[in-house]
Amino acid sequence: MTIHPTSRRRLTLPLLLVALVLVVILIARNKGAHPSVPIQPVRSPTPVLEVIPTILTTAPRQPHQRTAVRSINGSCGKPISLTIGQIDEQFNIDAESLRNAVEAAANEWNNATGEPLFVVRGDDAVTVNLLFDGRQDSINQLAAEEREISAVSEALKARIQRHDATVREIELATATWNRETELHNKRVELMNARAATPVESADDYAALRAEQLEITATSARLKEAQRSLMLERDRVNQDAMLLKQEGEALNARIRSVQERFPPSVVTEGEHRRGPSVNEINIYTFHNLKEFHVVLLHELGHVLGLPHTDQQPTIMHPLIEHGSGPYHLTSSDVQAALNLCGR
């Protein structure tokens, strides 16, 4: 059967009308399908930064007392001989180490004055002894406590530094998240405004749909980042509480040590000279630096120097634990040169 052109025109027009209606319905159904409620930034609480009180330090135990010289050699004509005598094992120093320490102190006097004041050898010598008693036992106990406290303190300080670094990272990540969320919300507002206007073509709809999917993915990513930040913030704050508790426990231990070892005046050493004795007896020292100071002081007495009221000097009768001087001062050197008539 032959179809006339007019009949074809009548068939085509209804089909076009149906297709147009379907497109309008499809567009109407997809209007507003993208998110219309912006994701608001969540300003998480600032993580705890001040996590621990200031870590205390052990208080000075003394001043230590240096005894007055028992007698005076008063001679710069020839070097005074020094030798190593009794060494009690509780000091944990062998004869060679003590000899090296004595030589170092003797050489400091020699070099500072430019005079051959001392020599370490065995003939007709002033004997240097390390005599252990309750004074050094107390020092050893305190030194052990201080070493342990120092180790704990350094480890705790390192953890606090790592904690602070993590806090800074979280703050930076939070700031970045807030900026991204703000931009995302503005984009959502713009897209919602566009959705309020009719879509002109299928291409416009496809672009709008693609942007909707991208914004939805961004929204999911931001929400996951927010969740991770909050979890990390909570973990860091819990760690901060632990650090604070450990810091308080450490400070309590330090205060206990201070109570057990209160400041007191302790005789560290003395020079004894008589008809049958010429010796330096050292009873206590806190560390090798302090040991060097005690040796310098007692060697000054061997030269014939008395105590001086001048501070800070090696020949002052008191030494504050943890403070200098640790070497001869100009006053000490001049006193020795005056004794030698220089």
Question: Which domains does the chain possess?
Answer: 34-54+147-260 (no CATH), 64-143+263-339 (3.40.390.10)
> Which residues lie below 8 Å from residue 81, measured CB to CB, with a gap of 6+?
118, 119, 120, 121, 122, 123, 124, 125, 126
pLDDT, residue 126, reads: 92
pLDDT, residue 208, reads: 78
- For residues 196 and 200, what is the distance between their CA atoms, to the nearest angstrom? 12
Peptide bond into 306 cis (omega under 30): no
Report percent pLDDT > 70 for the chain: 75
Query: CB burial class (10 A; 0-12, 13-18, 19+) of residue 109?
Result: buried
Task: Check residues 26 and 260 and name the one with the higher pLDDT.
Answer: 260
DSSP 89: G
- Using only C-alpha atoms, the chain has a radius of gyration, in whole angstroms, of 43
pLDDT, residue 52, reads: 32
* Residue 311 zone, left/alpha/beta (φ > 0; ψ -120 to 50; rest): beta
Q: What is the mean pLDDT of the chain?
A: 75
